[in-house]
Amino acid sequence: MEARFALAQYRSRSGFGQLISRSTLAFAVVFGVLVYVLGASSDPRLEPLRRIALDVSAPITGFVSAPFRFVRDAMSNFSGFLDVYEQNRTLREDIVQLNQWREVARRFEEENARLRALHNVSLAPNYDYITAQVVGSSGGSFSHSMMINVGRSGGIGPGAVALDGGGVVGRVVSVGKHAARVLLVTDLASRIPIIVEGAGKKSTDEDTKDEIVRAILVGDNSAAPLLQFATKTEGIKPGQRITTSSDGGVYPKGLPIGEVERDGEGFRVRLAANFDRLEFVRILLDRTDRAIDADAVLIVSQPDENSEEDGGTVE
Amino acid sequence: MKQKSLSVWTIIAIIVTTITGLALSALPLGAGSGAAVWPNFTLCVVFFWLVHRPLGMPTLAILFIGLIGDLISGGVLGAGMLALLIGSQFVQAGAKALARSAFGVRWFAFGGFVAVVFLIEWILNSLPRWSPLPIGVPFAQFLVTVIAYAPVSILFRKVLRVGRT
């Protein structure tokens, strides 16, 4: 094609050209410094810009990553195919065990529902989940975050907690219409109030409560975040379970995070979430309290009407 | 020496490769500490066009690419942008000589460019926290980015040749 753009000669040696070039550079530097100062101070005025970038970049990143996901899934499927018989046998065993547990769970649900109805209790806030696909990572090596393909239209807002099958992954920090950014628990900016289960003294007296050891999980860009500011360190031992506390009101209480591991004089937390293969995450959706003021209803899924062995709604 | 003006093909190639570079740099290959160390393709793209078609990579375009990169990565906004802007000034200063030099020299220069960008980015990301960030992962990313430049450069040169025919 012969068509050429008549662009001005690059870096012209004329005085005017040099002036333009230097002015542009000066503007760029001033603009860059201004954005950096605002960005470093987490100025909320930049938030709309982040939202727009999320909504625009998420579909592009998802599209570009499709071939890579295809190859990765194909490799995973192939390795799964190789041990399909072994998996089948394990799954059959699991089904038998899970059927037993299902019956136990149903009995407990029924009993709980009856007791709640008797006492007219107000339940703690309930949470729903929405599953989101991970469509982008932070890419850079200085921050740990990821993009997901669910935004305000999916009902999530800033502060929503993200989990995988194992435990807490992070929390939503920026929300676009159809995409959101999750700050991972490993990021330097991440601070999570936690409880170290089993680290406090058990009460021998019925009138006093067990001692609870609280601490802060501090991300430092490593695979195992630091455990700091513990209310008491004597009882903390490797292997103890770490869960979220509701201190600060950001995280709901009791979500699994990981286990304690020793790091010299201090402690770190081996995370339960699998960050190596994070394809989908569940986002917690906060629901309002609901008081039971009528007959209790089972929370378990509605049984098949044709099935004789399944129970029904408790009246 | 007069710089080459840009054909429509070259302009399209610059835009497409830049968008692809930005998207590839943010591929979801694991997350956080579990993420695979992945090249920063944006730096490969910017360096290649700065050397071979400087007209297609003016200062304002670099500023914009840096800003988009920061918005996608979710890091400290402006840190990557300033680092890219400063690093690109060194490349612009030696672009003519680099365009005429052997590939090995350009590759070495790319290593220097990436090192400068990463160093500035590391400093700018450390400053708000008043503590130095770990350098292990950035160093690993520096290495894979430098390695990735060779195939990227070969591919882009073929793209330029297709445009000439």
Distance CA A257, CA B83 (A): 35
- Residue A248: inside a domain: yes
- In chain A, residues with a C-beta closer than 8 Å to the C-beta of B75 are 138, 140, 142-143, 145
Asked if B3 is an interface residue toward chain A (Cβ–Cβ < 8 A), one would say yes
Quick check: is A247 in a domain?
A: yes
Put simply, the chain B residues between 84 and 123 with a CB less than 8 A from any chain A CB are: 85, 89, 121-122
Burial class (CB in 10 A: 0-12, 13-18, 19+), A291: exposed
Tell me whether A29 touches chain B (CB under 8 Å): yes
Q: HEC states along A193-253?
A: EEEECCCCCCCCCCCCCCCCEEEEEECCCCCCCEEECCCCCCCCCCCCEEEECCHHHCCCC
Q: Is residue A75 part of a domain?
A: no
Does A313 score more than 50 pLDDT?
no
Residue B4 pLDDT level (bands cut at 50, 70, 90): low
Q: What is the pLDDT of residue A220?
A: 82
Is the pLDDT at B113 greater than 90? The verdict is: yes
User: Where residue A222 sits, what CATH number does that domain have?
Assistant: 2.40.10.350
**Chain A residue numbers touching B68 (CB-CB < 8 A):** 53, 57
Q: How confident is the model at residue A4 (pLDDT cuts 50, 70, 90)?
A: very low
Name which residue leads in pLDDT, B148 or A44.
B148
- Compare CB distances from A31 to B63, B122, B129 and report the shortest one's residue: B63
Give the mean model confidence (pLDDT) for residues A200-213: 68
- Which residue range(s) make up the domain with A199? 191-272
- Binned at pLDDT 50, 70 and 90, residue B86 comes out as very high
Instruction: Choose from B37, B53, B73 for mutation: most chain A CBs within 10 A.
Output: B73
pLDDT of A144-173, one tens digit each?
Answer: 888 888 888 888 888 889 988 788 899 998
Once rounded to an integer, what is the mean pLDDT over residues A195-222? 77
Mean pLDDT, rounded, for A139-143:
73
Whether residue A258 is contained in a domain is answered as yes
Q: Is residue A295 part of a domain?
A: no
Q: Determine the average pLDDT of the residues in A43-66.
A: 78
| pLDDT tens by residue, A72-118 | 777 777 777 778 888 888 888 888 888 888 888 888 888 887 787 77
* Confidence grade of residue A140 (pLDDT, cut at 50, 70, 90): low
Determine the pLDDT at residue A291: 47
- Residue among B1, B8, B24, B29 with most chain A CBs within 10 A, to mutate: B29
pLDDT digit string, tens, across residues A250-286: 788 888 899 999 888 888 999 888 887 778 888 988 7
- A275 touches A186 (CB < 8 A): yes
Confidence of residue A124 (pLDDT cuts 50, 70, 90): low
pLDDT band at B109 (very low <50, low <70, confident <90, very high): very high
Residue A127 lies in a domain: no
Query: Could you give the CA distance from residue A29 to residue B86 in angstroms, rounded to a whole number?
Result: 8
Q: Is residue A154 part of a domain?
A: no
pLDDT of the residue at A130: 87
User: Cβ B32–A183 below 8 Å, yes or no?
Assistant: no
Closest CA to B21 of B41, B46, B36: B41
Give the minimum alpha-carbon distance from A197 to chain B in angstroms, rounded to a whole number.
25
pLDDT of A288 over the 60 cut: no
- When pLDDT is averaged across residues B83-95 and rounded to a whole number, the result is 90
**Is B165 exposed, middle or buried (CB count within 10 Å of its CB: 0-12, 13-18, 19+)?**
exposed
Burial of A234 (0-12, 13-18, 19+ CB in 10 A): exposed
A-to-B residue pairs, Cβ atoms closer than 8 angstroms: 216
What is the tally of structural domains in chain A?
1
CB contact under 8 A, B85 and A28: yes
Mean pLDDT of chain B: 85
User: What chain B residue is nearest to A66 in terms of C-alpha separation?
Assistant: B27
Reported confidence tier of residue B87, pLDDT bands at 50, 70, 90: very high
Which of B19, B72, B76 has its CB closest to that of A53? B72
Q: Nearest to residue B47, comparing CAs of B142, B118, B119, B149?
A: B149
Work out the average pLDDT over A18-40.
86
Give the mean model confidence (pLDDT) for residues B17-42: 76
What pLDDT is stored for residue B31 in this prediction? 61
Looking at residue B118, what is its pLDDT? Answer: 92
The answer as to whether A202 is a domain residue is yes
Look at A9 and B124 and tell me if their CB atoms are within 8 Å.
no
Q: Report pLDDT for B43.
A: 92
- Cα distances (Å, whole numbers) of residue A314 to A229, A301, B8, B46: 47, 13, 72, 66
- Check whether A38 has a pLDDT greater than 90: no
Cβ within 8 Å, pair B68-A57: yes
Does A142 sit within 8 Å of B74, measured CB to CB?
no
When pLDDT is cut at 50, 70 and 90, the band that residue B48 belongs to is very high
